[in-house]
Structure 1
């Protein structure tokens, strides 16, 4: 399928590794021009415009927006205090998780919208999570932040409708990324559930960002091997 992304201008936050890097690579392979905002320094040999900065820094986000923009993808995120019961979670840790995972997405959309309004097929895609829908022990901050991204997606789809800007999110389950491996340690290789590759998520992002998905707006695309559809009824 020709996604129609060739020649388009895209901005990706968190593009240095994991889902973000896979998305950058996929966009480049489709012929898009890419700008990246990330705290990490620019990797060698990557043909993109690189802005080193934090998604929670409004000026850094504003400065990363190219004059012409067709697609904005919010991949930047952190795990927060994983494995910590809510009763023991520090306020600052909780706040920082929401600041990066939720406020960072809001700032991206806020400052990308004026540039996107000039595009023929403008689109925003956020990386949320299956944790936008279900919770696991010790993940209160992460779940709250990703649940917020889910509703932010819907709210922005409504707010930006007049400018024709579509806003959607992808909600993957466990993905084989440096962040996930860092969270789980040796237990990652012992998981008894299917694990996504960053490229799996990137392909979903590119579809939602493309003119091929022009009728898709305000939705969450779940990639979890059917996990949310599986009942716990003991049948």
Structure 2
């Protein structure tokens, strides 16, 4: 078997596996106003696959003794790996006080290590990278180890986290990601008063954004 054929099989298999796992992952990616994450991501995948045809055609002019399919497989593998990274979301493990009920806010902050032990006001802190990358539903446990799953309420069916800007502290916004914890066996949608976040955060930890 020639090196070209070996590369074709290796990168062809890798690109197919990456494509399949991306399609699965897109089911959990937040969508737009009315379009699902799967639909929007699917459009991106089509664009990537078509773009790689053009890229492989250009590479064929340079690597004349390498087959088009091999170059296409290599291009799609690299492109899909990059797309995988862009879609990566850490699954946060959040610890709350026993019997805590209400809103959880994770604030965009300057901390190096995320502070996921939520205080009595329902506030934790995320570093910049985690704040930008996170969209998956977290694991939430009480201090006593009890796991909360059915009590968690997200923003809407297509996006678990609500992205919130609280105005204003010194003329600047506080950005946070939030969801709700309802009492056990309560009805979904049962509400509570939303906190005024600017009164609850540690100003020294917050990365503020300009108020528009």
After TM superposition, the score normalised by the length of structure 1 is 0.23
After TM superposition, the score normalised by the length of structure 2 is 0.24
Question: Which of the pair is proportionally richer in helix?
Answer: 1
Higher relative contact order (CA 8 A, sep 6+): 1
